[in-house]
Amino acid sequence: MRAIRFHEIGGPEVLRLERVSDPIPGPGRAVIRIEAAGVNFSEIYQRTGLYKVGLPATPGSEAAGVVVAVGEGVADVAPGDRVVSTSVSGAYAELALVQSDRLVKIPDGITARQAAAVMLQGMTAHYLACATRPLGPGDTCLVHAAAGGVGLLLCQIAKRRGARVFGTVSTAEKARLAREAGADEVIRYAEQDVEAEVRRLTHGAGVQVVYDSVGRATFEASLRSLARRGMLVLFGQSSGPVGAVDPQALNQHGSLFLTRPALQHYTATRAELLERANEVFAWVRDGSLKVRVDRERPLADAAEAHRALGSRATTGKLLLIP
pLDDT tens track for 40-61: 989 999 999 988 999 999 999 9
> Would residue 141 count as lying in a domain?
yes
Domain identity same for 254 and 279: no
pLDDT bin (cut points 50, 70, 90) of residue 102 is very high
C-alpha distances (whole Å) from 250 to each of 11, 147, 159, 173, 235 are 36, 28, 28, 35, 18
> Would residue 131 count as lying in a domain?
no
Does residue 312 have a pLDDT over 80? no
Last residue of a domain, one of 210, 231, 260: 260
pLDDT bin (cut points 50, 70, 90) of residue 263 is very high
C-alpha distances (whole Å) from 164 to each of 76, 198, 202 are 40, 12, 10
Q: How many domains does the chain have?
A: 2
Domain identity same for 207 and 154: yes
pLDDT bin (cut points 50, 70, 90) of residue 195 is very high
Are 152 and 178 contacting, i.e. CB atoms less than 8 angstroms apart? yes
Domain identity same for 15 and 91: yes
Nearest to 146 by CA among 105, 107, 189: 189
Domain identity same for 182 and 75: no
Does residue 228 have a pLDDT over 90? yes
Domain identity same for 169 and 248: yes
Domain identity same for 244 and 288: no
Please give the average per-residue pLDDT across 89-112, as a whole number.
97
> Would residue 309 count as lying in a domain?
yes
C-alpha distances (whole Å) from 54 to each of 17, 79, 99, 130, 320 are 18, 30, 19, 34, 22
C-alpha distances (whole Å) from 286 to each of 58, 159, 164, 281 are 35, 16, 23, 9
CA dihedral 128, 132, 134, 135 (to 10 degrees): -50
CATH number at residue 161: 3.40.50.720
> Would residue 127 count as lying in a domain?
no
Does residue 166 have a pLDDT over 80? yes
pLDDT tens track for 266-296: 999 999 999 999 999 999 999 999 999 989 9
Please give the average per-residue pLDDT across 93-117, as a whole number.
97
Which H, E and C letters describe 145-204, residue by residue? Answer: CCCEHHHHHHHHHHHHCCCEEEEEECCHHHHHHHHHCCCCEEEECCCCCHHHHHHHHCCC
How far is the C-alpha of 195 from the C-alpha of 264, rounded, in Å?
31
Give the model's pLDDT for residue 315.
83
CB neighbours of 216 closer than 8 A, spacing ≥ 6? 237, 239, 240, 241, 242, 243
Domain identity same for 141 and 254: yes
Beta bridge partners of 63: 37, 85
Domain identity same for 103 and 157: no
Last residue of a domain, one of 260, 287, 311: 260
Domain identity same for 45 and 77: yes
Domain identity same for 102 and 173: no
CATH number at residue 108: 3.90.180.10
> Would residue 124 count as lying in a domain?
no
Give the model's pLDDT for residue 264.
95
> Would residue 231 count as lying in a domain?
yes
Give the model's pLDDT for residue 175.
96
Handedness of CA 171, 172, 173, 179 (dihedral sign): positive
> Would residue 265 count as lying in a domain?
no
Domain identity same for 153 and 79: no
Give the model's pLDDT for residue 310.
86
> Would residue 126 count as lying in a domain?
no
Give the model's pLDDT for residue 237.
87
Mean pLDDT of the chain: 96
Domain that holds residue 162: 137-260
C-alpha distances (whole Å) from 28 to each of 75, 97, 319 are 8, 10, 27
Last residue of a domain, one of 213, 242, 260: 260
How far is the C-alpha of 31 from the C-alpha of 25, rounded, in Å?
6
How far is the C-alpha of 234 from the C-alpha of 220, rounded, in Å?
12
Domain identity same for 107 and 142: no
